[in-house]
Amino acid sequence: MTAASGGERADARRNRAKMLSVASELFAEHELEVPLGEIARRAGVGAGTVYRHFPTKQALLEAVFVQHLEELVASGERRMVGFAPTQAFFGFLMHVVEKSGRRGHLCEVVAADASWPHPMLTASVQRFRQVLTALLQAAQRVGGVRADLSPDDVVAVAVGCTSMLTTRRDRAAGRRLVQLVLDGLRPSADVTERSVFRDDLVSSPGRVELCADCGVKLPLRPTGRPARYCGPTCRQRARRRRLAG
Amino acid sequence: MTAASGGERADARRNRAKMLSVASELFAEHELEVPLGEIARRAGVGAGTVYRHFPTKQALLEAVFVQHLEELVASGERRMVGFAPTQAFFGFLMHVVEKSGRRGHLCEVVAADASWPHPMLTASVQRFRQVLTALLQAAQRVGGVRADLSPDDVVAVAVGCTSMLTTRRDRAAGRRLVQLVLDGLRPSADVTERSVFRDDLVSSPGRVELCADCGVKLPLRPTGRPARYCGPTCRQRARRRRLAG
Amino acid sequence: MTAASGGERADARRNRAKMLSVASELFAEHELEVPLGEIARRAGVGAGTVYRHFPTKQALLEAVFVQHLEELVASGERRMVGFAPTQAFFGFLMHVVEKSGRRGHLCEVVAADASWPHPMLTASVQRFRQVLTALLQAAQRVGGVRADLSPDDVVAVAVGCTSMLTTRRDRAAGRRLVQLVLDGLRPSADVTERSVFRDDLVSSPGRVELCADCGVKLPLRPTGRPARYCGPTCRQRARRRRLAG
Amino acid sequence: MTAASGGERADARRNRAKMLSVASELFAEHELEVPLGEIARRAGVGAGTVYRHFPTKQALLEAVFVQHLEELVASGERRMVGFAPTQAFFGFLMHVVEKSGRRGHLCEVVAADASWPHPMLTASVQRFRQVLTALLQAAQRVGGVRADLSPDDVVAVAVGCTSMLTTRRDRAAGRRLVQLVLDGLRPSADVTERSVFRDDLVSSPGRVELCADCGVKLPLRPTGRPARYCGPTCRQRARRRRLAG
DNA sequence: TATGAATGAGTCTTCATTCAT
DNA sequence: CATGAATGAAGACTCATTCAT
């Protein structure tokens, strides 16, 4: 229909994208129990076309997973520069959990030191782990996350939260639960105060009663201007980062 | 229902138990992706025998699930009398998580208001929920668990922890994580510590045939039409040759 | 329970009879598509018991068929002595059709000169054919049935009528049809008069407008005592038979 | 519905036609007792191909039946214009009987008021009934067929004649019988003549194993648990020996 | 290159038949 | 001798994958 500029190439790319997104959705809902024919049908292409792009169902799965990881990596990298470490870490985690649907199970491969055949997958997994590790360590350095957590721990927690979210029928209630669990990753000193649910941490990260840098809980004073940081150290650190860009 | 008379019953009972335990293990590992023939083989019986006892794969699944729930219910009831409320609740939860393996996903039905066809399954689910609710409320009454948690919340957390546990390869580390998460359900927490890693993932090469055009080796796949060419190029070349002469 | 007179023998006989009757009914309805287990269950015995009495499903089938044939043979023999030839023949045929249900198909074996493995079956089939042939020839001798019909023809007609009867949902209508078809076996000279349906030939063989001996149609005179025979010959023949017993 | 575009369609159409004709023949001979694999094999295609064209065995059956009905309808319509009413009716009926083989039994659905799920089937059945009814009424109007016959009667007669024809081994004799029966539908009849016989029935012996106790030969049955003993006596003897030592 | 038809191994399920008790 | 559990071949059906067009 469209007068071709680069020839069929554009169509092929569009097809590939369509297949990926369709497969992504279906895998997220039905977790592998999806016939390839169904994917082809919904993508509006023939079965052969799927196989021209992805030589195996496994390959398609991997492509979906790689794409998913890349999106998460991008989101993580954005957070690394734009947010305070602790906020970045928790925001990232919540994002991962919310975006993964039932694909969370595939994430199990991420938990491995990962010698996986497919090179691209390995690369994506590694990049994901790097981002995750960086965010984790940064948050740990500023004391916003328990020091005894490894990246593998965090991955496992994320996968678990994913399935919590799909289990709890009430989506809002599910998010509250995830929030609660993620709060459990904060240093135990502040555990006493975690008792208020917050639904808005992700959507509007500015309005919180936690330290904007390290995420530690801030005492609520009835009077005066509400505190943004837990102390001078965090305030100074945040300022330096602001100035750096 | 209750088997009380003599005769060959003993054998049948033993068989049934064997099948159930085999199925339980396999479902716990592979989550429904288990051929019934495999279960039969491992239980040392014929396929027909499985069907004599469980008229459907679904029926077997339900039986496994019911048995699992009954065990959990029994454990929960024991805890109700022998332990302090908070300890009973957390002990029960940890027990549930540790025993459920990948069956945790089946537990999703538990999270529902649960109008399930099979009467026995429904009954078991209800009893499970009753026990869970009782333990939860008792613990909440003595202030050992956050007051804003519903039974559905707890079920979701349990399911999530189940998948955390199977994700984290290091069992000890997994348990520590679960502990951490469960502690998040307390109004104020006390936590334990530890950490390690592990991993494995394999890929199998397989015997090969040769491309009918270029002679390159072809992978033998267990399903689908056996390949004759190594790809479209060779196929096309062969076709041209066919058409030419 | 019962104090044994002849020991278990009585029970066994009763069981065998029960099985036969159950099997007979089920075969008549579902034409072979009956699991042996179902027969066992309905007869109130174990599967093994069926096999003790009938070493094969085929054997059971044969037994059922033999019993059915024996009943038909007995009925046929009764008719040979108690009725005029033509009446005997048509009455027998109608009886066969009505009693056979879907077992009619099994009757196909009867159409064969029948070198069948099972000796008892062969014997029964032969006896059945003998009775049928005798009735047919007697009726033909008195001119009540077309002379160009062979026993095989008659068997085929009977089988066909059987399936006519099961096809026509309305049982009465079905019987009328069968009657019509059977009337087609009478000498063609009288065809003109076959246009009235009679539902009562079988149940009350006395009230017919046909000759009570040879079955030829009788002219209906508006006055006088209704005729019973088509002429003196038949009347005399009938009388001799009455006197003979 | 109508295939008009080019491409591989031709092959597919050929395959579909082949399957239909193979299935039609086999159903006509064995009446549903045909494994789909057998149909596939004879049509020279894989099992999956059959399922691509007919999602269910039932669907295949219906397709066969629909095709059969359509052919009959076409034949009926041709007769409506080219023949005198009575001749058209009887010619059609004879045609139906001769073409239907054992499929006649499927025709039972035609006898029903016919609320059948499959729309196409229903449509075909209705068209068939319409043609049949039209032919019947036309013939009745000119006095060529008894006035007291309903379309349902005629269908039942046709089905019955079908099974007459398959029962009578001698095809010519069978046709003569059918002729005779159909003539019975006329107010007054004219008949044809003829007669012959034929037959065959086989039983297969099979390879044999030996009784584990007395060494007598055992018949090898294709299904069921393979026998180890020649009967209960030997089994019991063997058992006593086992228990003794 | 895209299409969708063909392939066939593998799954669930049934049922005739034998065996242990 | 009766019972019902066990057996396993065979049938319906699915779906990953390749091939002809």
What is the DSSP track for C23-42?
HHHHHHHHTT---HHHHHHH
The pLDDT of residue C191 is 42
**Rounded CA gap, C210 and C228, in Å?**
8
Same domain, D71 and D98: yes
- pLDDT on residue A125: 85
What is the distance between the alpha carbons of residues C151 and C132, in angstroms, rounded to a whole number? 7
Does C240 reside within a domain? no
- A112 to chain B: which residues are within 8 Å by CB? 169, 199-201
Q: How confident is the model at residue B98 (pLDDT cuts 50, 70, 90)?
A: very high
Q: Do the Cβ atoms of A127 and A65 come closer than 8 Å?
A: no
Domain identity same for C78 and C20 = no
Confidence at residue B78, expressed as pLDDT on a 0 to 100 scale: 94
Residue A245 lies in a domain: no
pLDDT value at residue B1: 37
Q: Is residue D184 part of a domain?
A: yes
B208 backbone dihedrals φ, ψ, rounded to 5°: -135, 150
Q: Once rounded to an integer, what is the mean pLDDT over residues D61-85?
A: 91
Q: Which whole number is the average pLDDT over C102-120?
A: 57
- Which percentage of chain B shows pLDDT scores above 90? 42
Do C76 and C186 share a domain, yes or no?
Answer: yes
* Closest listed residue to residue B167, CA positions, set B104, B89, B74: B104
Q: Dihedral of CA B191/B192/B197/B199: which sign?
A: negative
Cα distances (Å, whole numbers) of residue D114 to B120, C30, D117, D151, D160: 40, 21, 9, 13, 19
pLDDT at A235: 74
Instruction: Let me know how long chain A is.
Output: 245
Note whether C102 and C31 are within 8 A (CB).
yes
Mean of pLDDT over chain B? 78
Chains that touch A (3 or more CB pairs under 8 A): B
Name the more confident of A142 and B10.
A142
Predicted local confidence at residue C209, as pLDDT: 59
Does the pLDDT value for residue C130 go beyond 50? Answer: yes
Question: In angstroms, rounded to a whole number, what is the distance separating the alpha carbons of residues B23 and B49?
Answer: 14
B206 touches strand E (CB under 7 A): no
User: Do B91 and B149 share a domain, yes or no?
Assistant: yes
Contacts across the C-D interface (CB distance below 8 Å): 122
CB C220 within 8 A of CB C193: no
Nucleotide E9: nearest residue by CA–C1'? B223
Q: Is the CB of B127 under 7 A from strand E?
A: no
The mean pLDDT of chain D is 78
> Out of B33-47, B66-80, B185-199, which region has the weakest mean confidence (pLDDT)?
B185-199
| Residue B218 dihedral angles phi and psi, to the nearest 5° | -110, 140
The subunits that touch chain C, with at least 3 C-beta pairs less than 8 Å apart, are D
CATH code for the domain of C3? 1.10.10.60
Which residue is associated with the tokens 């297949």?
A19
Token output for D184: 């019975």
What is the greatest pairwise CA distance in chain C? Answer: 68
On whether any CB of chain D is under 8 Å from the CB of C157, the answer is yes
Which CA-bearing residue is nearest the C1' of F20? D8
Does residue B133 carry a pLDDT above 60? Answer: yes
Q: Name the band, by pLDDT with cuts 50, 70 and 90, for residue B228.
A: confident
Q: Which residue has the higher pLDDT, B211 or B127?
A: B127
D167-216 pLDDT, tens digit per residue, is: 888 899 999 999 999 988 988 543 322 222 111 222 233 344 677 777 77
The pLDDT of residue A27 is 87
- Residue A137 in any domain: the answer is yes
The pLDDT, as a whole number, for residue D211 is 73
- Structure-model confidence comparison of residues C203 and A35, the more confident one: A35
CB-based contact, B109 to chain A, within 8 Å: no
At A8, the pLDDT band (50, 70, 90 cuts) reads low
Q: Tell me whether residues A167 and B232 touch, CB distance under 8 A.
A: no
Q: CA–C1' span, A37 to F13, in Å? A: 16
Name the residue range of residue B104's domain. 62-193
Contacts 24+ apart (CB under 8 A), D142-148: D142/D84, D142/D85, D142/D86, D143/D187, D144/D85, D144/D86, D144/D89, D144/D90, D144/D186, D144/D187, D145/D86, D145/D89, D145/D185, D145/D186, D145/D187, D146/C195, D146/D185, D146/D186, D146/D187, D147/D187, D148/C197
Structural domains counted in chain D? 3
Is the pLDDT at C119 greater than 70, yes or no? no
Q: What is the mean pLDDT of residues D80-90?
A: 90
> From CA B206, how far away is CA A6, in angstroms rounded?
40
- B201 lies in some domain: no
Q: What angle do CA C164, C169, C172 make, to 5 degrees?
A: 80
Is-contact C164 C181, C-beta < 8 A? Answer: yes
- C113 part of contact set with chain D, CB < 8 Å: yes
Same domain as D47, residue D16:
yes
**Same domain? A159 vs A83:** yes
pLDDT (mean) for C69-79: 93
Question: According to the model, what pLDDT value does residue A107 have?
Answer: 58
List Cα–Cα distances, A32 to A26, A38, B33, B91, in angstroms: 8, 12, 11, 34
- Select the more confidently predicted residue: A49 or C108: A49
Asked if the Cβ–Cβ distance from A195 to B203 is below 8 Å, we say no
Q: Which helix (H) or strand (E) holds B219?
A: strand B217-219
CA to C1' distance (Å), from D227 to E18: 6
| Angstrom distance (rounded) from CA B35 to CA B39 | 7
Percent of chain A whose predicted confidence (pLDDT) is above 70? 70
Q: Which comes out higher in pLDDT, residue C25 or B106?
A: C25
Within a domain: C22:
yes
Q: Which range is least confidently modeled, A86-100, C118-132, C175-189, D111-125? A: D111-125
The identity of residue B224, as a single letter, is: G
Mutate which of B168, B169, B202 to disrupt the A interface (most A C-beta within 10 Å)?
A: B168
Q: Is A70 in the same domain as A33? A: no
Regarding chains C and A, contact by 3 or more CB pairs under 8 A is answered as no
Asked if A148 and B193 come within 8 Å (Cβ–Cβ), the reply is: yes
Chain B residue with the nearest C-alpha to that of A182: B181
Q: What percent of chain C has pLDDT over 70?
A: 69
pLDDT at C112: 47
pLDDT classification of B230: cutoffs 50, 70, 90: confident
State the nearest Cα–Cα gap between C75 and chain D, in angstroms: 23
Q: Specify the range with the lowest mean pLDDT, choosing from A34-38, A205-209, B51-55.
A: A205-209
For the CA of B61 and the C1' of E17, the distance in angstroms is 29
Domain assignment present for residue C192? The answer is yes
In this prediction, residue C215 carries a pLDDT of 61
CA distance readout (Å), D39 to A156, D9, D46, D66, D67: 52, 21, 9, 18, 17
pLDDT of residue B122: 77
Whole-angstrom distance, CA of residue A94 vs CA of residue B57: 37
**Residue D245 has what pLDDT?**
63
Task: Tell how strand D217-219 and strand B208-210 pair up.
Answer: unpaired
Chain B nearest C-alpha distance from A184 (Å)? 5
Per-residue confidence (pLDDT) for residue C134, from 0 to 100 = 95
Averaged over D112-134, what is the pLDDT? 75
pLDDT at D140 over 90: yes
Q: What CA–CA distance (Å, rounded) separates D63 from D36?
A: 14
pLDDT at D1 over 70: no
**Contact residues, B window 216-245, toward A, CB-based 8 Å cutoff:** 232
Find the CATH number of the domain harbouring B115.
Answer: 1.10.357.10
- Say if residue B84 is in the same domain as residue B47: no
Digit-coded pLDDT (tens) for B59-84: 888 899 889 999 999 999 999 988 88
SS3 of chain C: helix, strand, coil, percent, to 5: 65, 0, 35
C239: in domain: no
Exposure pattern of C192-210 as b/e (b: 16+ CB <10 Å)?
ebbeeebeebbeebeebeb
The DSSP code sequence of C43-73 is HTS-HHHHHHH-SSHHHHHHHHHHHHHHHHH
Residue C7 has pLDDT above 80, yes or no: no
For residue C41, pLDDT over 50 is answered with yes
Q: Does residue A37 share a domain with residue A133? A: no
User: pLDDT-based confidence at A226, cuts 50/70/90?
Assistant: low
* pLDDT at residue number B218: 73
pLDDT tens for residues A32-57? Answer: 788 999 999 999 999 999 998 998 88
Q: What is the pLDDT of residues B106-129, one digit of tens each?
A: 655 444 444 455 666 778 888 999
Predicted confidence at residue D195, as pLDDT, reads 20
- The string over A59-93, giving b where at least 16 C-beta atoms fall within 10 Å of a residue's C-beta and e elsewhere, is bbbbbbbbbbbeebbeebbebeeebbbbbbbbbbb
CA contacts within 13 A on the Cβ side of C67: 16
Residue nearest to nucleotide E15 (CA to C1'): C35
For an interface test with C, give the residue of D146, D180, D229 to mutate (most C CBs within 10 A). D180
pTM across the whole model: 0.74
Q: CA B12 to CA B23: how far, in whole Å? A: 16
Please check whether residues C154 and C181 belong to one and the same domain: yes
Which residue type occupies A197? F
User: Do both A32 and A125 map to the same domain?
Assistant: no
C-alpha distance across the termini of chain D, in Å? 74
Q: What is the spatial distance between Cα A148 and Cα C228, in angstroms, rounded to a whole number? A: 114
Contacts of D231 (CB under 8 A, 6+ apart): none
Which of B 207-236 have CB under 7 A of nucleic chain E?
222-226, 232, 236
Most confident among A196-210, B185-199, C135-149 (mean pLDDT): C135-149
A95 and A41 co-located in one domain: no
Q: Which of B164, B169, B202, B233 to mutate to test the interface with A (most CBs of A within 10 A)?
A: B164
Query: Is D111 within 8 Å of C169 when comparing Cβ atoms?
Result: yes
